[in-house]
Structures are given as structure tokens and as C-alpha cells.
Amino acid sequence: MGIALILILAGLMELSAPGPLIGDLTARSVRLWIHSDQPEQVRITIVNDDGETVDQKVTSTLPENGNCSTLSIIELKPGARYEYTIDGQHDAAWWFRTLREPDLSCRIAFGSCAKETEGSSKVWQRMDADDITALVLLGDTPYIDTTDLKRQRERYRAFSSVPAFKTLVAHTPLYSTWDDHDFGRNDTDGNLPGKENSRRAFQEHRPNPSFGENDLGIYTSFRQGPVEVFLLDPRWFARTEGDEDSPALLGEQQWAWLTRSLSASTAPWKVIAGGMVFNDSVRSGKTDCWGRYPKEYERLLGVIKQAGGDGVVLVSGDVHWSRALRHDTQEQLGYDLIEFVTSPIHEHLIKAADAPHPGLLFSQGEINSFLVIEAETIDGKHAMTMSLRNASGETLYSKAFVSPSN
């Protein structure tokens, strides 16, 4: 592939061309995303640790797909390390390791609100040093603030061109949802004109396992070790259903998916994650939080109760402040839900986000911060620890969870 330098907005980094990056990863398959400067045919070769070619595919990067292509490599061996080349070129970061069978452990990083800056790059480097097994982006990754397709594509490519980010996701599976700024506008909802362009650009640049259903939304899920992550889309359907007194947030289609998927999950730990915070303790005037959709929040509790068990936790971002909160759900669920808010990866804090909450466990403004979930199964018992960390490697707050009953 051709390599070009991209000079973006003043104050940000000079970047190389984007990609490649690893998407959804299982014990026997991987999704691989590539981009070229011009439309062309690209040859991908997968090589095992013995130097043997196990697969080779040719794909086309076409203008109608933003010169991007995502391909799936299947029939791989569990727990095996592979390297890949692109048109005969190779880089030390171009490798991946399939999940083991059974897969008994994971170290999943979550983050939101990132820019093409040195501070955000320090977070990507820290995640790489921490040997994370997956990266989950919760939105505002990147900041776009328009539904113009050309601009959407430009911003995704610039974000994916940061050297430290490129290195990390070249061998670490990336999973993503969006928040308001990458959806298209600050604090917006599903009535935003042009949202189809945002979805198209997201599909082109983020190799998730799936993208909603019926060409609507981008919600998805994946599992590593004893953890299954359910990535919500709180933008596409928001306020497009229901009425003024009880507007929708997730929409009936997404609710049906979440109800079905959560109940079918066999994972001991279930992480429900999205950019929008699940509480109402936000800065004055902020309208995009679950607290502004009280009936939807109660419905969420009902879905969790229906799924059974006590292994559910919540993860959110958006607000430019790191927090951990206990939701008073003992009456509805038989236990209190814990929510971790992880924001920002970049350097912009919002002090007003440090709002009071009766179940507040931790609240701190910390630039270049992220969340790590470490979980493992030993002798049939499941342990999980959730830790808010910063780019220097310091743990800001950590909470251990006992083995769930389900």
C-alpha cells in the first residue's frame, strides 16, 4: 500500500497513513481492516509461527467504501500466534494471537474522548505496555461533529493514523461504538439528518463483529475469557420512537436484541457499555444521559433481571471525568449495579461533571485516563477487577468483584 503523510489541524500530530488494524478476534478467526491511498487490489498473507503461509487473500479497496476493506480470516488454530503481510510488506506490530479454547482470562481496556495528540498517544502506549487483550472505544473517538460523508471518512482516517494507535491496534482487537461527536453533533439524538452517512463511515472504518440489525444502529457484542461485552448504541434510535413524555433511547429493535442476547449469554461477567452515562448525576443542562430517560433506565433493570444472575456491571464515558458509582438497585435486582465512567483519554476535563451522587465511590478529574477490566476463571471460580488507570501506569481506583452466582 502507498504510504503518505497527512498534515491535520494545527496543534495536532503529523501522521502517517492509517491501518492496518485488527477487529473482531475469536479462537479460530480474525477480522482485518486495511486502507489504501488509491483504489487498488491488496494481497494479505497470514503466516504461522513456523513461517508457513496458512492463508492468502486478495481484496479491493474501492472508492465507494472510502478505499477501505475489511476481510475475515477463518479456520485458524486456537491460542496460536500469527503474523501478516500486506503486499509483501511486514511490520513488527503486524501480528495477532487467537483466543484459547477454553478462553479463561482477559484484560480489556475501555476508553472514550480521544484526539490525535501526544497525550492520547501516551494512553495507547500504556495500553500496549499493559498487554491488553482488547480495546473498546466508547465514542468521541474521533471527534467529527458533522454527518458529511467526506469529512467523516477524513476524521476516521486521521484518528487511525496516529503512530501509537496504529501500533496498538495492529495486534490488539478493536471494538467500538459511537457517542455524540462521532455520530455527528454534540448532545444529538436519532433525528440528526444524515446519520446514515455516519453509520456508513463507521462500518467502513471499524471492523466490529456486527453493526446493529436491518441496516439500523451499530450495537454489537463480543466475548473474551469470562467476560461478554454488550456495546450499546444510544444515538441512532434516541427520540425516534415513543412520545414526548416517554421518548425512546435504545429503540424496540435494540431492546429486543439486548434482551435476547443478555439472556442467552453464558459469560459469568456481563459488561453493558456505551458512551452515555447510566446515571443522572451530570453537569447542569446536560440532556444526554440515561437519567433523562427514566422509563428506559427502568426497562434496562428489567432486562437485567430477566437475564438472571448478579454478574452485570456498567461502563460509560463521555463526561470528561473518571467516576465509579453504586446504583441503588437492590430492590429491583437483589444487588447494586456498579458503574465505571472512564473519560477522557485526551486532556480536556470538565469540573462540572464532578456532580454529587448518593452512591459515589470515586470521582476524579484525570487526563489521559482509561479503564481496564481483568478477569480470569480458576478452578471454576470467576474473579474480576475493574481499575481506572492513567498514562503513567498509576491505578487511580480499583474494585474487585467476587464470583457471580450464575
The string of pLDDT tens digits covering residues 169-214 is 999 999 999 999 999 999 999 999 999 999 999 999 999 999 999 9
Instruction: Indicate if the pLDDT at residue 2 is higher than 80.
Output: no
> 19 pLDDT band (50/70/90 cuts)?
confident
The string of pLDDT tens digits covering residues 58-77 is 999 999 999 999 999 999 99
Pinpoint the alpha helices (H) of 134-265: 149-159, 163-169, 180-183, 195-205, 251-264
* pLDDT of amino acid 244: 85
Cell 427514566, residue? 294
> 16 pLDDT band (50/70/90 cuts)?
low
pLDDT above 90: percentage of residues in the chain: 92
The string of pLDDT tens digits covering residues 106-145 is 999 999 999 999 999 999 999 999 999 999 999 999 999 9
For residue 214, give the C-alpha cell. 436491518
* pLDDT of amino acid 403: 80
What mean pLDDT do residues 235-239 have? 98
> CB-based contacts of 159: which residues, under 8 Å, 6+ apart?
18, 114, 116, 141, 142, 165
Instruction: Indicate if the pLDDT at residue 9 is higher than 60.
Output: no
Judge whether 368 and 120 are in contact, CB under 8 Å. yes
- Which residues on neighbouring strands pair with residue 46, listed in sequence order? 55, 84
* Continuous segment of H or E residues that includes residue 71: strand 68-73
* Continuous segment of H or E residues that includes residue 118: helix 118-129
> 14 pLDDT band (50/70/90 cuts)?
low
Chain mean pLDDT for the chain:
94
> 309 pLDDT band (50/70/90 cuts)?
confident
Q: Among 3-7, 164-168, 339-343, 368-372, where is mean pLDDT lowest?
A: 3-7
* pLDDT of amino acid 18: 86
How far apart CA 375 and CA 357 sit, in angstroms, is 28
What mean pLDDT do residues 92-101 have? 98
* pLDDT of amino acid 171: 98
